[in-house]
Amino acid sequence: EIVLTQSPAILSLSPGERATLSCRASQISTNYLAWYQQRPGQAPRLLIYDASKRATGIPARFSATGSGTDFTLTISSLEPEDFAVYYCQQRANWFALTFGGGTKVE
């Protein structure tokens, strides 16, 4: 089973600043990697899939890159509504979809 490690656990920033979130896989992963945002009291929301493709309706300030074991989500300029928890998720095979532990942007 591939383990996804997200860092940092907490990212303290101000509106307008750039956020860089990391997701590292314990072994080489496919590019079947997604990022989700979860605001307090809400269900998760899809941001990015296939490592770098923005989901429908997601603002351009959200971008992502990566391959192999290292993946990155970048928020170019934080808006107040972006302060939330972010999870990466991968599909290495159908027997184990896994999520990272999350990064809280505060």
Partner 1 sequence: QVQLVESGGGVMQPGRSLRLSCEASGFAFNYNGMHWVRQIPGKGLEWVAVIWYDGSDKYYADSVKGRFTISRDNSKNTLYLQMDSLRVEDTAVYYCARGNCDSNYVMDVWGQGTAVTVSS
Interface with partner 1 (CB under 8 A): 32, 34, 36, 38, 42-46, 49-50, 55-56, 87, 89-91, 94-102
* Half-sphere exposure of residue 1: CA atoms within 13 angstroms, side-chain side: 10
Beta strands, E only, 1-106: 4-7, 10-11, 19-29, 33-38, 45-49, 53-54, 62-75, 85-93, 96-99, 103-105
For the CB of residue 8, give the shortest distance to partner 1 in the complex, in Å.
15
Question: With respect to partner 1, which residue has the nearer C-beta, 78 or 89?
Answer: 89
Question: With respect to partner 1, which residue has the nearer C-beta, 13 or 46?
Answer: 46
For the CB of residue 79, give the shortest distance to partner 1 in the complex, in Å.
21
For the CB of residue 16, give the shortest distance to partner 1 in the complex, in Å.
28
Backbone dihedral region of 69: left (phi > 0), alpha (psi from -120 to 50 degrees) or beta? alpha
Question: With respect to partner 1, which residue has the nearer C-beta, 14 or 56?
Answer: 56
Question: With respect to partner 1, which residue has the nearer C-beta, 82 or 90?
Answer: 90
In this structure, how many other beta carbons lie within 10 angstroms of the beta carbon of residue 27? 10
